[in-house]
Amino acid sequence: QVQLVESGGGLVQAGASLRLSCTDSGRTLSPYTSMAWFRQAPGKEREFVAAINWSGLTFYEDFVKGRFTISRDKSKITVYLQMYGLKPEDAAVYYCGALRLGSGWPPGPSYEVDYWGQGTQVTISS
């Protein structure tokens, strides 16, 4: 059973940085699985943030380009989301997701997510 475990969220001031992690704790995902980060703010729909494929290609939503960086370790077990220059509007629960194999690259506008993490809260104080 696939289990994605996220960590790294917290309360920070506007302008600060955070790094989120998402680990395939059971090491059950195919190394060819593309991984993505999404976020959901209160009262809003879950939205795409960034994705990385098996070869390291990355894709970002426009509102995070230049501020967020997605990466994965060589074992492809852990995916990171490094966030710089956080803004109050970045506050949300951040979820990692394993995209369906063969779902195409770049991902979107619809996203086929086979597995979700539990989410990690990011709170920004202004």
Task: Output the DSSP codes for 50-67.
Answer: EEE-TTS-EEE-GGGTTT
- Whether the bond into 109 is cis, omega within 30 of 0: yes
Q: Model confidence at 26, in pLDDT bands (50, 70, 90)?
A: confident
Q: Model confidence at 126, in pLDDT bands (50, 70, 90)?
A: confident
**pLDDT digits over 79-121, tens only?**
999 999 999 999 999 999 999 998 889 998 899 999 999 999 9
What pLDDT score was predicted for residue 33? 93
What pLDDT score was predicted for residue 102? 86
Cβ-in-10-Å burial (0-12, 13-18, 19+) of 38 comes to: buried
Q: Mean of the pLDDT values across residues 12-30? A: 95
3-state secondary structure of 106: coil
Q: Model confidence at 74, in pLDDT bands (50, 70, 90)?
A: confident
Give the separation between CA 123 and CA 13, rounded to whole angstroms: 8
Residue 27 has pLDDT above 90, yes or no: no
Q: Where are the beta strands (DSSP E) in the chain?
A: 4-7, 10-13, 18-24, 35-40, 47-52, 58-60, 68-72, 78-83, 92-99, 113-116, 120-125
Give the separation between CA 122 and CA 105, rounded to whole angstroms: 28
